[in-house]
Amino acid sequence: MTNQTVIKVGSTATGFWGKFRSVLARRTEGRAVVLFAIIATFVTVSQPLVFTAYQVTLGRIALIGLVALGLTAVILMGELDLSVASTLAVSGVIAVTVANQTNMAIGVLAALAAGVVVSLINAFFVAIVGINSFIATLGMLFALRGMAFVISDEAPVKLQNTDLGIAFGQPLLGPLTPRILIFFLIFIAIQIFVSRVKAGREFLAVGGNRQAAYDAGIPVKRRIFTGFIISGVVAAIAGIINAVERTSADPTSGSTVLLASFAAAIIGGNYLKGGKGSIIGTLIGAASLGMLQVALTISGVQIPIQEIFIGGILLIAVITDPSSLRAVWGSLSTTFQGIKNSLAK
C-alpha cells in the first residue's frame, strides 16, 4: 500500500504536468509572461506596425532593456543602483571626448574603465562601509551627473567622426543593428553567468538571506562587488552605444532610463528585496514595456496617458504577486472576521 502511494507521487512529480507545475512554482516570470501576452494581443489588434516594423521595436526594447539587464544583477542581491542613469551619461561623454582626441577604440575603453571605477566606488560604500545602496548610489547619481556637465562643458559633445556614428546605427546582421545585437549578447552572457556560473548563482542566495549566505561560506562582499561591476559596465556600454549612434554625447541623457529600467525589472518579476527574479524576466519586462511604448507612440498618445498605462501595468505586476495577494486576502479576511464578530455581539 505504502509502495503504491510512493509510486503514484513519484510518477506525478516526474510526469509532464508534474514537471510543469514544479517549473511554475520555481519560476518568477509567470506574471511577466501573462502581461506580455496581454500587451502583445493589445498591440497586434491596435497597432500591427509594432510587429511589421519590428527592428524599430527591438531597438526600443534594447534601449530600455540594456540598462535593466545590468540593474537586475544588483536587484537579485537585494541592492539598488540608482547611479546607472548618470553612469550612462558620463560614459557617453567620456567616450566621445576621448574618441575625438584619439580614436574610437580608446574612447570606448576609457568609458568602460569609467564604468568599472564608478561601480567599484558604489560597491565599496555598500559592501565595505555598509551604507544603504539606495543612499550610496543616489549620491553617485548626482556626482556623476555633475561630472558629465563639467567634462562636456555643459553642452553636448559632437562626435567628430559622424560617418562612424551613422554607420553604427545601420543594420549589421539582417535587419538587426549593433545596438540590438549587443543587447542580446549581453542578455545571453548575464543569463549564463547568473544561471550556470557558481558566483552568479550565489547572487540569489545573497539576496534571499544574507546571513545564511555568510554562514554557508559565500563571499558576500565579493558578490556585491561583482553585481555592481556588471551594472556599471552595462550602463557604460549603453552610454557608449547611445552616444555613438546619436553622433553626440549629451550630458543630460538617461533622464528617462532609470525609471524605465526599474519598471522592466519589476514587470519581469524581480523582487526589489532580492532573492527572487531572473534575467529572462527582465528581458520579458523590457519587451512588454518597449512594445507598449512603441504602440502608444505610434498612436500619438501623450506622455501623461502613457504614464498611466505603464503605471497601471507596474501596479498589476506588483499586486498579482502571490505574496501580495496572500497579504491582501489575509487582511480582507481579518477585516471581515472583525465585522462579523462585531455584528454577532
Cell representation of residue 344: 454577532
Q: Three-state secondary structure along the chain?
A: CHHHHHHHHHHHHHCHHHHHHHHHHHCCCHHHHHHHHHHHHHHHHHCCHHHHCHHHHHHHHHHHHHHHHHHHHHHCCCCCCCCHHHHHHHHHHHHHHHHHHCCHHHHHHHHHHHHHHHHHHHHHHHHHHCCCHHHHHHHHHHHHHHHHHHHHCCCCEECCCHHHHHHHCCCCECCECHHHHHHHHHHHHHHHHHHHCHHHHHHHHHHHCHHHHHHCCCCHHHHHHHHHHHHHHHHHHHHHHHHHHHCEECCCCCCCHHHHHHHHHHHCCCCCCCCCCCHHHHHHHHHHHHHHHHHHHHCCCCHHHHHHHHHHHHHHHHHCCHHHHHHHHHHHHHHHHHHHHHHHC
- Min dist CB 112 to another protein, Å, is 19
- Closer residue to another protein, CB minimum distance, 51 or 124: 51
Shortest Å, Cβ 73 to another protein:
15
Q: Please report, as ranges, the residues that interact with another protein according to CB under 8 A.
A: 49, 51-56, 59-60, 63, 149, 152, 154-158, 162, 165-166, 169, 174-176, 184, 187-188, 191-192, 195-196, 242, 245-248, 250-257, 280, 283, 294, 297-300, 302-304
Which is nearer to another protein, 127 or 147 (by Cβ)?
147
* Smallest separation (angstroms) from another protein to the CB of 147: 13
Residues 6+ apart with CB under 8 A from 231: 70, 71, 73, 74, 81, 84, 119
- In terms of CB distance, is 124 or 184 closer to another protein? 184
Task: Please identify, using beta-carbon distances, which residue of 160 and 334 lies nearer to another protein.
Answer: 160
Nearer to another protein, 157 or 267 (CB): 157
Q: How far is the CB of 220 from another protein (least distance, A)?
A: 23
CB of 329 to another protein, least distance (A): 32
Q: CB-wise, 70 or 121, nearer to another protein? A: 70
Minimum distance from residue 333 beta carbon to another protein (Å): 38
CB 97 to another protein: min, Å: 13
Nearer to another protein, 120 or 199 (CB): 199
CB of 63 to another protein, least distance (A): 6
Q: Which is nearer to another protein, 197 or 339 (CB)?
A: 197
